[in-house]
Amino acid sequence: MEHGFLPVSREEMTARGISQMDFVYVCGDAYVDHPSFGHAIITRLLEAHGYHVGMIAQPNWRDVKSIQVFGEPRLGFLVSAGNMDSMVNHYSVSKKRRDADAFTPGGVMGKRPDYATIVYCNLIRRIYKETPLIIGGIEASLRRLAHYDYWSDKMRRSILLDSGADLISYGMGEHSIVEIADALNSGISVRDLTFIDGTVYKTNKREDIYDAVELPHFEALLSDREEYAKSFYTQYQNTDPFAAKRLFETYDKKMYVVQNPPSKPLTQQEMDFVYSLPYQRTYHPSYEKDGGVPAIAEVKFSLVSSRGCFGGCNFCALTFHQGRIIQARSHESILSEANKLIWEEDFKGYIHDVGGPTANFRAPSCSKQMTKGVCADRQCLFPTPCPNLKADHKDYVNLLRKLRELPNVKKVFIRSGIRFDYLLYDKDTAFLEELCEHHISGQLKVAPEHIAEPVLEKMGKPGAAVYKRFTTAYEAMNKKLGKKQYLVPYLMSSHPGSTLTEAVKLAEFLRDLGYMPQQVQDFYPTPSTISTCMYYTKLDPRTMQPVYVASNPHEKAMQRALIQYRNPKNYKLVEEALIKADRTDLIGYDRHCLIRPKGGQALLPKPVNGKKQAAKAENSGHRKKKTIRNIHKKKH
């Protein structure tokens, strides 16, 4: 079988001696044949199973001819918005249009439509009324049932209904897409494909749905946010491939959307097979004239070690998409891929990353998960580590050592993030030592996300004391190694549960740290996360207790400004936030203050030398604080 890139034109199809494609894959991303791109994995896997697949990348959704490149496929169309939800790709959290798209040639914005999966499917249905239409990728996966859509600020139906597709292949899709292909190839109608794990289908026959949990009717979700909170948490508790129940929800006109349980996790052998397929490892050559596809730069010299995450952060959709069970490649598979990339002409000696959603997760968190699944009502790491947790980095350390020994390799970085709490729970400090000695360069990025306990609880993140323990261990290890390396904490503003009081606590933490982040991540309510459910319903779906939500843009701006309180541009917002939070004690000249009085600038914390100077500064600060309080009393 020929490899190279898959056909992107009818001429290339004909040149290969193919009279009709089995599948045509329509994608919102440019065509990049690299295993970090979902469309590459699915198309190569189908090819490996003997199917002919044509690729239509970023078709012109205003022109129906753009999806007629190969004519009608024998078995069906496959549609994905790409590696990102198209709305996240297009808009910032403030709903402003982004300037660039890393998944498009030249980084040009606007080459795909909003809600791309729906638009592409409707375009296809204008011409091909009955051809099987299967949707997948993260956009379809996270919108597979009724969901809150942040950009329109309303509940939306399952994407299966709005797209007119026949099936959703949700999650990573390797198992389900092959089963779908084989079933269609055997002559089974797409309407009869109701039995495949990892899929969502629609039916108007209630009697055909068996052994299933009924979710609230869509009309109930529209009228009562509490009903949505209950529905979402039922979905969340049924994301495990071993324990999940079949779910269904009802729409008008007796239409039912049915979610089958998730596909089983890939075995190590299956993972190795997927990553051994003949990827070209770069973008299609037709994009060279446009400057290539920027997204390849981040992954070209990186290695995927694992997938899945048992970290359980509530603002992350991984539980819904990849699941909580870790699936890992063998050392041999990873080294085989490494031995390809280290001989590429533009390899400079640096492997950029070896990891996955969480780099230091290389095995399921406990031994029972591969037969009984993960616990539906408890987390592995939150609020405290489960007694059954196995915290062990030996396998990962051995893998990193092997990669460091390869020819042409100067350094192996870890950039995909580590769970510092999991690192601490491993009594063996070998990983921390090798991380500091070999796998970072000057700084390590970690994600405490916040420091206030009420917010961390809503995030599903470990308490502030755990992060402080890690900073102590990190500093001690670097001192032992004779290195000066720093921590760069990722922080999030305006997460559900964060009032101005908690936002001020975070600012004080940064003040004491002597650090101001250059970038701040404002909470982004993306589909199918517990945090997004909190944002929309103002309820914690785990407990059904009320949650404070900063949804007003001005308050969100104040919370964000507090994290960057030293920036003079944020002065007015910080001042207003401190007054509203009743923390005017932080406006003044003392070392503990965040900003100076009106017209001043933020103070950098500076040590006061000498007893006389210290006393003078303290007395001066008390006088100025008293004056500031009097000013604010007169104002208000």
* pLDDT at 71 exceeding the cut of 70: yes
What does the alpha-carbon distance between residue 358 and residue 262 come to, in Å, rounded to a whole number?
A: 21
Q: State the DSSP code for 28.
A: S
3-state secondary structure of 633: helix
* Domain count across the chain: 1
> Considering the domain boundaries, does residue 440 fall inside one?
no
In-domain check, residue 385: no
Asked if 429 and 459 count as a contact pair (C-beta separation under 8 A), the reply is no
Q: Which residues contact 103 (CB under 8 A, 6 or more apart)?
A: 28, 29, 30, 32, 82, 83, 84, 89, 293, 294, 295
CATH number at residue 252: 3.40.50.280
Long-range contacts of 625-634 (CB under 8 A, 24+ apart): 625/585, 625/588, 625/590, 627/597, 628/584, 628/587, 628/588, 628/597, 629/584, 631/597, 631/598, 632/579, 632/584
Measured CA to CA, the distance from residue 267 to residue 328 in angstroms comes to 8
Q: CA–CA separation, 259 vs 547, rounded Å? A: 29
From CA 538, how far away is CA 549, in angstroms rounded? 6
pLDDT score at 2 = 52
Residue 515 has a pLDDT of: 84
pLDDT at 45: 98
As to burial, measured by CB atoms within 10 angstroms (0-12 exposed, 13-18 middle, 19+ buried), residue 370 is middle
Query: How does the average pLDDT of the chain come out, rounded?
Result: 92
Q: Is residue 376 part of a domain?
A: no
Report in angstroms the alpha-carbon separations of 242 from 260, 323, 386, 409, 463. Answer: 12, 11, 19, 41, 30
Give residue 251's pLDDT band: very low, low, confident or very high (50, 70, 90).
Answer: very high
What is the pLDDT, as a whole number, of residue 618?
41
**Which DSSP symbol is given to 264?**
P
Report percent pLDDT > 70 for the chain: 94
Question: Could you tell me if 560 and 172 are in contact, meaning their C-beta atoms sit under 8 angstroms apart?
Answer: no
Establish if 513 belongs to a structural domain: no
pLDDT of residue 599: 61
CA atoms within 13 A on the CB side of 607: 2
**Per-residue pLDDT tens over the stretch 437-494:** 999 999 999 999 999 999 999 999 999 999 999 999 999 999 999 999 999 999 999 9
Q: Say how many CA atoms lie within 13 Å of 95 toward its Cβ.
A: 7
Can you tell me the mean pLDDT for 322-327?
A: 94
Tell me the pLDDT tens digit for each residue of 187-228: 999 999 999 999 999 999 999 999 999 999 999 999 999 999
Residue 597 falls within a domain, yes or no?
Answer: no
Q: How confident is the model at residue 619 (pLDDT cuts 50, 70, 90)?
A: very low
Q: Is the pLDDT of residue 635 over 80?
A: no
281 is a domain residue = no
From the list 229, 225, 265, the residue with the least C-alpha distance to 529 is 229
Instruction: Estimate to the nearest angstrom the gap between the alpha carbon of 317 and the chain centroid.
Output: 6
Domain containing 29: what range? 10-259
pLDDT for residue 384: 92
Per-residue pLDDT tens over the stretch 568-607 = 999 999 999 999 999 999 999 999 999 999 865 544 444 3
Q: What are 488-529's pLDDT values in tens digits?
A: 999 999 999 999 999 999 999 999 988 888 778 999 999 999
Structure tokens of 212? 């299933």
pLDDT band for position 145 (cuts 50, 70, 90): very high
Q: What are phi and psi of 205, to 5 degrees?
A: -115, 100
Closest to 586 (Cα-Cα) out of 625, 530, 560 = 625
Question: pLDDT tens digit string along 391-425?
Answer: 999 999 999 999 999 999 999 999 988 999 999 99
10 Å Cβ neighbour count for 514? Answer: 9
- Going by C-alpha positions, the residue among 4, 164, 6 that lies closest to residue 77 is 164
Q: CA 497 to CA 531: how far, in whole Å?
A: 10
pLDDT of residue 311: 93
Mean pLDDT in residue range 381-395: 94
Q: How far apart are CA 224 and CA 165, in angstroms?
A: 28
In angstroms, the Cα distances linking 426 to 187, 419, 452, 476 are 52, 11, 25, 16
Neighbours of 592 (CB within 10 A): 13
3 state SS of 103? coil
Q: Do the domain assignments include residue 480?
A: no
Q: Is residue 218 part of a domain?
A: yes
Mean pLDDT of 604-623: 40
Beta bridge partners of 56: 26
Rg (CA), the chain: 26
135 vs 106: CA distance, rounded Å: 27
Cα(first)–Cα(last) distance of the chain, in Å?
Answer: 78
Report yes or no on whether pTM surpasses 0.75.
yes
Asked whether the predicted pLDDT for residue 299 surpasses 90, the reply is yes
